[in-house]
Amino acid sequence: MRVRLGIALTSSSESRGAAVLNPEMPGSRTLFGQAAGNGRGPSRANHSTPAGFPQGILANDQIIEAIEQARRHEKKSAVLLVDLDHFKHINDSLGHVMGERLLESVGERLMLCMGGSDTLTRHGGDEFIVLLSEIAQPKDAAICAKKILEMLKAPHLIGRHILAVSASIGISVYPDDGEDLETLLCNAETAMYYAKTHGRNHYEFFEREMNIRAVERQSIEEDLHGALERQEFVLQYQPKIDMKTGAITGAEALLRWSHPARGLVPPLRFIPIAEDSGLIVPIGRWVLREACRQVRAWHDAGLPAVPVAVNISSVEFQDAYFMESVGESLEETGLDARYLELELTESVLMQHAEATASALQKLKSIGVHLAIDDFGTGYSSLSYLKRFPVDALKIDRLFVSEVTSNPDDATIVGAVIDMGRNLKLRVIAEGVETQDQHAFLQTQCCDEGQGYFFSPPVSAERFAKVLESGMKKPSVKRITNVRHSKTA
C-alpha cells in the first residue's frame, strides 16, 4: 500500500474552463490554483508543473478536520479514490504534457460532481482523492461515484486529440472502514484495485474480505514474475467451426497458468493482475510466439492448415514494441502471416483511433488477419468499421447465451450477422453451448461458431488429433473435456 498525500488541485482565476471558486470563502472546495482557505494561513504552491496548472502540498489537516467534524456531528464521511484506467498508455503514446492536460480536464469534471464542502486532491500520477465531508448514508458516496463515471465517459478534446478515459473508484466510509486518514486511504485503494480486477469503469465499496483478497492478489503478482522462466504457462486451443459444414476453420489460443502449488489458475484470477503490473507484455510476446510455433508445427506435420487467433490486450497493443514482436514471432517460426489472426476489443481499438488505424494498416500489409472481439459490448461508434481494416466480428457470448430466450438478444445477433455480411466480414459467434443456439445461428447464416457445444479448449496434442480426424457433424460428434473459463 502506498499512501501519497501530495498534490492539491485548487481554484484559480487562470483556471481553464473550470468554475472559479473564492479561495477566501470558508469551506470552499479545492480546484486548480491556490488552496482553499481554511483559516490556518496560506498554502504553499509549486507553479512549475509541465501542464501549467498549479499544484501545492496537500493540507492534511483539512481532511483530518473534515473527519473530526463528521465525528463531532455523528455523521459519516467518505473517501473516493479515483484511478484512471490505462492512463499510462496516453502518457507513453502522446507524451507527459498531453497526459497532464488530460488530468486537468478530468479534475475539472470531478469538481462538477462535488458539493460545496467537499475536497478534491491529486494523489500521485493518475489518481484523485474525493473527500465527501459529510454524508447521510453510504449510498450518497455511490451516487457521487456514479456521477463521476458518467461525467468522465464523454470524450476529452485535448489539442487535436479526442481521448476516451474511464476510471476505477474505491470507496471507504468513516467511521465504518477506519477512523484516520491513512486507514481510509488504504482501504479505498484496496477497493479501487478490486474494481480494476472486476472490469474497470465502475466503483466498489471497501469490504473487510477485500484485505484477504488483496494479500492473495499480491501473492499472485509475485508468483507471476517468475512464471515465464519456470515455464508454467501453457496454451490451449478452442476450435472455430464452419456453421454450414461443421469443418474446423481455425482455433483460438487461450492462455492457461499451471501453478506448481495452486494448480490450474483460472485466467480471470491472473490476467487482470498481469495487465495492471505490466507483466502481460512479456507474457503476451510468449503467447504470440508459442501460438505461431505450434501452428507451424501442425503444418510441418502435414495437418490441415488453419489459422490461430490470439487475444491482444490494451496494454500489449499500446506497447512500443508490439508491432516488432508480431513480426519477430512470424519470422522466427516461419509461419505465413495469413495463419495469424489478432483479436482486439472495441475499447482497445478506440482508445487512440488515429494511431490504431495506422497500426492495423501495417499489420494488414504483412498479411495478418484482424478480428473485433466481444463485438457489441463496447462504447464506440460503428463508424470505425469503415476506418479499421478488420476481417471478422466476434459476437460476444453474452448475446449468444440468451439468443433463444431473449428476443432483444436475438434481434441484436441477427443484426450483427446481417451487418457483417453486408460489409463482407466474417461473423463468429462465441459461447455456443446448446443445440438450440446452434440452430438459431444457422438460420441466421452466421459464418462460424465457437464454444462448448463444439469443443472446450484442449491441449495442442489433442487439437492435432481433431485436425487429423476432422469434425464434420458438430451436433453429434463433439469433444468433451473438463470445463475451463474462457479468457485471453
pLDDT digits 0-9 by tens, 350-368 = 777 778 888 999 999 999 9
Do 201 and 247 lie in one domain? The reply is no
Question: How many structural domains does the chain have?
Answer: 2
pLDDT band for position 415 (50/70/90)?
Answer: very high
The whole model's pTM is what? 0.64
What digits encode the pLDDT tens for the residues 148-196?
999 998 888 888 888 888 899 999 999 989 888 889 999 999 999 888 8
Do 366 and 429 lie in one domain? The reply is yes
From edge to edge, which strands make up the β-sheet containing 203-205?
45-46, 55-57, 7-8, 119-122, 127-135, 76-84, 167-174, 203-205
Residue 2 lies in a domain: no
Do 161 and 64 lie in one domain? The reply is yes
Residue 211 lies in a domain: no
Cell 490505462 locates to 86
Task: Quote the CA–CA distance of 118 and 90 in Å, as a whole number.
Answer: 29
Do 424 and 288 lie in one domain? The reply is yes
pLDDT at 3: 28
Burial string for 426-463 (b: 16+ CB within 10 Å, else e) reads bbbbbbbeeeebbebbeebebbbbbbbbbbbbbebeeb
Burial string for 189-223 (b: 16+ CB within 10 Å, else e) reads bbbbbbbbbeebbebbbbeeebeeebeebeebeeb
Do 151 and 300 lie in one domain? The reply is no
Query: 218, 287, 231: which is closest to 259 by C-alpha?
Result: 231
| Side-chain half-sphere exposure of 326, counting CA atoms within 13 A | 28
State how far the alpha carbon of 301 is from the alpha carbons of 304, 336, 385, 460, 469, in Å.
Answer: 9, 15, 37, 13, 14
Question: Is the Cβ–Cβ distance between 254 and 488 less than 8 Å?
Answer: yes
Q: What is the mean pLDDT of the chain?
A: 81
Do 90 and 198 lie in one domain? The reply is yes
Do 232 and 192 lie in one domain? The reply is no
Residue 368 lies in a domain: yes
Whether residue 22 has pLDDT greater than 90: no
Range of the domain at 333: 220-469
Residue 129 lies in a domain: yes
Give, rounded to a whole angstrom, the gap between the first and last alpha carbons of the chain.
28
Whether residue 481 has pLDDT greater than 50: no
